[in-house]
């Protein structure tokens, strides 16, 4: 009987219809889970599902690594990882698979807010606590959000330029992230508001480098030709800042200007090393929140406690004075 059912189900169209007919999509909305419901205390074993938007970005790879490292310290935790490769539809399927697997807690860094909202709510409504990292979802069907504040990071960068790099004014070139991305808009806004404090600073040109090193380099090639006097290059992330540095170096102008970036990834190809090695003047940390996510998971599952609805982590300025020290701190094993 079973084999009959299998062979039936397996034929192409039959499988379609069978599976479709078997659907019992119940929707228990409104019932928000108590943290204690999933909490079995220190003796429990917990499976955590981590849904990552796109591991191909170094920042997100580091986020996964930070989660992995932090979870190692909690013997009750077993963390699974899924990569949506920047595809919203794939990320929806990833979360649905976690729901099928009946995980105990979901950590998600959504690719985009709107498309992921419904499936995150579905998980939450099934009583799975949800911790949202870095990018938000809409509504309030999640347990806690942990992220950085891009406006504040942009503002710190602007303050640094206005007070430290160009106290007596100068020309700034801005290399922006991918058009339409929220961090791009916020890192721009914060920066512009902060440099207003020093009216002698002018943003003389901007270009979009789409977060990419090679694009940053190509855009800078053109900006260098068009602008004989550039004092500071403000890039929305470190790879674009590095690209701009390489472009300036190619025409022998890298000493004329300062380069600053954002993200400060503590990896060999990241911004902290670039500051340590003198290519960038400064970068600003954009925390991955991996450690904090596991801490929150531990609070919910093991300690039966509650977590803050929204936890915004502060940025840190990395310059020549602290780069080496912070790099070592972030990579304790070397």
Question: Counting Cβ atoms within 10 Å, is residue 232 exposed (0-12), middle (13-18) or buried (19+)?
Answer: buried
Which is closer to other proteins, CB of 181 or CB of 312? 181
| Residue 123 CB, nearest approach to other proteins (Å) | 13
d(CA 64, CA 116): 19
Residue 142: which residues within 8 A CB-CB, separation 6 or more? 120, 124, 130, 131, 132
Which is closer to other proteins, CB of 92 or CB of 248? 92
Site of interaction with other proteins (CB under 8 A): 6-7, 9-13, 15-25, 55, 80-83, 85-89, 92-94, 96-97, 99-102, 112, 114-115, 117-118, 179-180
Helices (H), the chain: 2-10, 12-21, 58-72, 88-100, 113-125, 150-160, 182-195, 213-226, 238-250, 271-276, 290-301, 323-330
| Residue 105 CB, nearest approach to other proteins (Å) | 15
Q: In 3D, which of 145, 141, 135 has the Cα closest to residue 309? A: 145
Which is closer to other proteins, CB of 110 or CB of 170? 110
| Residue 167 CB, nearest approach to other proteins (Å) | 36
Q: How far is CA 263 from CA 175, 210, 238, in A?
A: 14, 15, 6
Which is closer to other proteins, CB of 137 or CB of 162? 137
| Residue 315 CB, nearest approach to other proteins (Å) | 25
| Residue 132 CB, nearest approach to other proteins (Å) | 17
Which is closer to other proteins, CB of 60 or CB of 299? 60
Which is closer to other proteins, CB of 7 or CB of 321? 7
Q: At what angle do helices 290-301 and 58-72 cross, to 10 degrees?
A: 40
| Residue 135 CB, nearest approach to other proteins (Å) | 12
Which is closer to other proteins, CB of 117 or CB of 171? 117
| Residue 156 CB, nearest approach to other proteins (Å) | 26
Considering only CA atoms, give the Rg of the chain: 23
d(CA 205, CA 225): 12
| Residue 61 CB, nearest approach to other proteins (Å) | 11
Total Cβ atoms within 10 A of residue 81: 15
Which is closer to other proteins, CB of 185 or CB of 326? 185
Q: DSSP letter string over 209-257?
A: -TT-HHHHHHHHHHHHHH-S---EEEESSHHHHHHHHHHHHHTT-TTTS
Q: How far is CA 60 from CA 3, 16, 56, 137, 296, in A?
A: 44, 36, 7, 17, 19
Which is closer to other proteins, CB of 49 or CB of 170? 49
Cβ atoms of 157 and 188 within 8 Å: the answer is no
Sheet holding 170-176, edge to edge: 201-208, 170-176, 232-235, 258-260, 282-284, 317-319
| Residue 196 CB, nearest approach to other proteins (Å) | 26
């Amino acid at each position: 009987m079973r084999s009959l059912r299998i062979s039936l189900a397996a034929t192409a169209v039959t499988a379609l219809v069978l599976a479709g007919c078997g659907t019992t999509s119940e929707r228990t909305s409104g019932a928000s889970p108590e943290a204690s419901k999933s909490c079995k205390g220190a003796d429990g074993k917990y499976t955590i599902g981590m849904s990552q938007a796109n591991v191909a970005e170094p920042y997100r790879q580091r986020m996964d690594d930070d989660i992995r490292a932090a979870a190692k310290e909690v013997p009750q935790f077993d963390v699974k990882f899924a990569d949506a490769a920047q595809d919203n539809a794939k990320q929806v399927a990833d979360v649905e698979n976690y729901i099928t697997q009946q995980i105990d807690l979901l950590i998600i860094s959504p690719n985009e807010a709107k498309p992921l909202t419904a499936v995150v709510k579905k998980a939450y409504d099934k009583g799975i606590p949800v911790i949202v990292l870095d990018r938000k979802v809409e509504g309030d069907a999640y347990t806690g959000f942990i992220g950085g504040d891009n406006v504040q990071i942009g503002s710190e960068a602007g303050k640094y330029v206005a007070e430290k790099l160009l106290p007596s004014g100068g020309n700034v070139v801005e290399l922006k992230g991918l058009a339409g991305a929220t961090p791009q808009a916020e890192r721009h806004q914060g920066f512009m508001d902060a440099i207003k404090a020093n009216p002698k600073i002018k943003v003389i040109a901007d270009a979009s480098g789409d977060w990419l090193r090679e694009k940053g380099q190509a855009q800078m090639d053109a900006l260098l030709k068009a602008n004989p006097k550039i004092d500071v290059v403000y890039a929305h992330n470190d790879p674009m800042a590095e690209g701009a540095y390489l472009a300036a170096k190619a025409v022998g102008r890298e000493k004329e200007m300062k380069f600053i970036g954002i993200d400060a990834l503590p990896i060999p190809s990241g911004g902290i090393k670039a500051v340590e090695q003198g290519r960038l003047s400064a970068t600003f940390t954009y925390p991955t929140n991996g450690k904090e996510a596991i801490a929150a998971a531990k609070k919910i599952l093991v300690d039966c406690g509650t977590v803050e609805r929204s936890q915004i982590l502060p940025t840190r300025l990395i310059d020549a004075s602290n780069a080496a020290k912070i790099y070592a701190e972030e990579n304790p094993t070397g």
